[in-house]
Amino acid sequence: MGYARTALLLAALTGLFLACGWLIGGQTGMLFAFGLALVMNVGSYWFSDKLVLRMYGAQAVENTELNAIVAELAARGGMPVPKVYLIDSDQPNAFATGRNPENAAVAATSGLMQRLNRDEVRAVLAHELGHVKNRDSLTMTITAVLAGAIGMLAQSLFFFGGLGRDRNSPLGGIGALLVMILAPLAAMLVQMAISRSREYEADKAGAELSGAPRALASALHKISNAAAAIPNPRAEQNPASAHLFIINPLHGTGADNLFSTHPSTENRIARLLEMEGGTNESVSPAPAPQQSARPQSTRRGRSVLPETGTARPQRGPWG
């Protein structure tokens, strides 16, 4: 049902995009919209992963505990081992990107390493590998590109005569004005619906891959609370990428409404606990392992986890 719903929503988004082109310039406009969508999607297919990693200043790491966890989970899932990146951000969060499992990358923030224990970090990485295995990164990239293009086309109604007397536009002034306002809104709603659908599927895949749905529930609880209090400046500057993260980095609200890129954390936790046969009672953080080791990176001979002079929360398994 999750795949069928996503396919229907993508079809609706594509149809809306072509309709905007038709409303702008009739059949010629629709053909132009199709060509534009094709060019934008080809570009996003090949370069979107590199752009988003650069956007967040992600640094590739090797020979760390993160790499070991990702390799172990990939082996369990029978999939290629993605590249691993670390983002210098105090907000705990993570995302996956890449056009397919063979060219995928998983990125985690330093805050995730500092605030979650090993079982929780492993469950979060399993969630991201679930996105990779389901090819959600490609789906969400295409969705974001189409939604952005719809906004551009709707605004072009004004510049190309949709509000005037252009014979190529099937609508007059009032109709074109409604399209200019409602088309981007409809595209945003479809984009958010797709994002929320894929998050539920990745939660399920991550819980199955890690074998620890309660650890993932605990991680979502911690990340959601921290995201409400700890800003992510890079995400604030690039809000269109918020849907990539396991928890919305822009705010900490849990309302499961039409304008949320993520399902409510409470709903996600409830589903995970049902997988384990648990109840909807509140989730308490899973205990940290007795022994821990801070991962060290070979990148440029330095530790990838930044040292700060500020007080830290109770340490997780990373030191």
Question: Binding site: residue ranges?
Answer: 127, 131, 199
**Cβ contacts of residue 302 below 8 Å, gap of 6+?**
none
**Cβ contacts of residue 259 below 8 Å, gap of 6+?**
188, 192
**Cβ contacts of residue 63 below 8 Å, gap of 6+?**
296, 297, 298
- Give the relative orientation of helices 173-210 and 118-133 as an angle to the nearest 10 degrees: 130
CB 134 within 8 A of CB 206: no
Q: Cα–Cα distances in Å, from 313 out to 122, 309, 319?
A: 19, 13, 11
Q: Which residues are annotated as a binding site for Zn(2+)?
A: 127, 131, 199
CB 254 within 8 A of CB 194: no
Structure tokens at 134: 């389901």
Q: Is 102 a catalytic residue?
A: no
> CA–CA separation, 73 vs 103, rounded Å?
16
- Give the relative orientation of helices 213-229 and 173-210 as an angle to the nearest 10 degrees: 130
> CA–CA separation, 176 vs 208, rounded Å?
48
Active-site option among 65, 128, 236, 281 = 128
What is the dihedral sign for C-alpha 187, 193, 199, 205?
A: negative
Query: Any idea which residues carry the catalytic annotation?
Result: 128
